A and B are shown apart, each in its own frame.
Chain A
């Protein structure tokens, strides 16, 4: 089935490219069957007057040069943007992809500003996080893709349920192309040195806590931290939602208490670095892990690519962290292992674009299986996890060779760090802020949770 789809896509691509070579000038009625096909689509989308979209889609099929302006971040340090654009050039030679780098630090702010009012010239935009996505949806800056999805028969089930969590009133405004999930990284050398068994793919939180404590060495000079939690809210707070009984949008956060207690007790006993220290140092999690004194660290799968490339380039000392592995997230008592957090990166079509159909084609391609192959080849986890893509990643030079690390890639339940909700950005800010208060000791766990409840309930009403 997959193979067939691929070959159809490839064939379509070849036809398109040939058409592209054939007539470089605009010939609206060049290929009739394509025009007919898109006509039904146009009727459904109601986006444009029929005549206009008619002419447009026909243009694309006929191969008129189209330029799509695509908002991205960190072009220099992220290889897959260029790889995707180049690969798409093969499929649709008449389409020029113009990438605009908005930088990663303030990406969603700049993007939302750019899409404010009318007159933006972006066609396709990358969606970095769900709060930002919610903003753009509410601003009507991006369009619903449902009609396109049903017209082209895109199978959403391949996205492992993530699309459900970003559906807004029954409509989907983005299609994910990258899907990172959280795993537990560990340093095998430290476990070997201590003669402790490696963590497994099936650990309860209690077992995890005990293991972290067992690995800890507080002797000055030969210090080992059993665990490491980055300063993000997700790294601590979201352990609590993995049992599937609660969500981060609940408005009553009593269920987070045991996890805060676990981490703060570990901090007190020197099992992990102090939150306040991390904040003062601005210590990046990658620096923490590559320093070779952290036994286990929970982090997103994007770190796999970083670890592999930094070890190869010599930026990380292989003696300190070269022997690493991964296992699944620990799980709550009575819950099957493999539940974890996910972060999706998606593409959307702007409402300002003059060429929504071409923009959609691009989005569909990047988020589809061909795009997935490109992503996997660069060591990133595509939103559609095919066996081929998985083999590509696990087969990368530098990927851990043990079976457990490969098995860790199988996710049973994926909960987005933040699912869509109407006021998700405000809820997110409130939770971020009180997470900081609890972790830095400004508030006790109970005070912090009470404040969270109050703030989120106020936002929801």
Chain B
């Protein structure tokens, strides 16, 4: 009995040691980013000796980022895009995924295959035909172009479908026998049950849209429509690279993403109290 407890304690200690090592590995880049964001160009790449906080911290980087480029406008655009895309993505994906996971219909496998197949295609392959098509629709240099590109991704449908499949069919069957319509089942049974999946998808979509670079680069050209990532790239010019500013921008752009993660992560925890793997 005693040795078992000892073993348990040793196990716990081991788990914590590993966790702390992992946490350290994970946090290094962020610390480095913070440190680089208050350095001058030359100090950023100085390794020998490496200093965390330079003698003369260049706080001005955090000020310049707002004045050197119209960062506020970029933030506005990015926030708008991210919110719209995430909302559309969640709504349409979970809707379609319900059908794929819980309903039987003609051409189900063919349609689903079409989704999977497109995930496998690198965007670079169809970027040009897509661009020519979008321009024909009059979407060049419109924020709407990015929404159209991002909001209907196959990834979301695939992910939601996999989660719905794990929810027992019996729940739906019972509801059907009770005379509920499929729409009611989706709204009152599936949606509430899929909070963890929905929050996961929210985070992924949010991060993707927030950090997207190539899409905005191709489609958004006028200054008033650019996004944060394009703004950050503006600093990297051919003949000089302003790393301190880029890092300051990266730190700023990271904050909303982390905030969203922190807000949503409680949904992963939900139910753990009753389901946790108790050793």
Contact with A along B118-155 (1 / 0, CB 8 A): 00000000011001100110000000000000000000
- The answer to whether A287 touches B223, judged by C-beta atoms less than 8 angstroms apart, is no
- The answer to whether A284 touches B135, judged by C-beta atoms less than 8 angstroms apart, is no
Interface locus among B204-212, B228-236, B256-264:
B228-236
- The answer to whether B217 touches A287, judged by C-beta atoms less than 8 angstroms apart, is no
> In the bound complex, how far is the Cα of B132 from the Cα of A73, in angstroms?
22
Given A76-B69, A102-B221, A105-B233, check contact A286 B239 (CB 8 Å): yes
Q: Is B110 an interface residue (CB 8 A)?
A: no
> In the bound complex, how far is the Cα of B240 from the Cα of A316, in angstroms?
12
CB within 8 Å of B: which of A96-124? 100-106, 110, 113-114, 116-117, 119-120
Q: Residues of A within 8 Å of B, CB-based: how many?
A: 33
- The answer to whether A104 touches B238, judged by C-beta atoms less than 8 angstroms apart, is yes
- The answer to whether A78 touches B237, judged by C-beta atoms less than 8 angstroms apart, is yes
Chain B residue, CB-CB nearest to A314: B40
- The answer to whether A100 touches B221, judged by C-beta atoms less than 8 angstroms apart, is yes
- The answer to whether B128 touches A315, judged by C-beta atoms less than 8 angstroms apart, is no
User: For the complex, would chain B's binding face be called helix, strand, loop or mixed by DSSP majority?
Assistant: helix
- The answer to whether A103 touches B233, judged by C-beta atoms less than 8 angstroms apart, is yes
CB within 8 Å of B: which of A31-80? 73-74, 76-78
- The answer to whether A315 touches B135, judged by C-beta atoms less than 8 angstroms apart, is no
Could you tell me which B residues sit within 8 Å of A by CB distance? 40-42, 45, 47, 68-69, 127-128, 131-132, 135-136, 214, 217-218, 221-223, 230, 233-241
Q: Which chain A positions have C-beta within 8 A of B214?
A: 106
Given A101-B223, A103-B234, A104-B237, check contact A110 B41 (CB 8 Å): no
Given A116-B131, A287-B42, check contact A74 B234 (CB 8 Å): yes
- The answer to whether B218 touches A110, judged by C-beta atoms less than 8 angstroms apart, is yes
Query: CB within 8 A of B68: which of A76, A101, A119, A286?
Result: A76
Distance of B218 from chain A, by nearest CB (Å):
6
Q: Which chain B positions have C-beta within 8 A of A116?
A: 128, 131-132
Q: Is A365 an interface residue (CB 8 A)?
A: no
Q: Is A259 an interface residue (CB 8 A)?
A: no
- The answer to whether A284 touches B241, judged by C-beta atoms less than 8 angstroms apart, is yes
Chain B residue, CB-CB nearest to A102: B221
Q: Is A197 an interface residue (CB 8 A)?
A: no
Chain B residue, CB-CB nearest to A291: B42
Given A76-B234, A100-B222, check contact A286 B217 (CB 8 Å): no
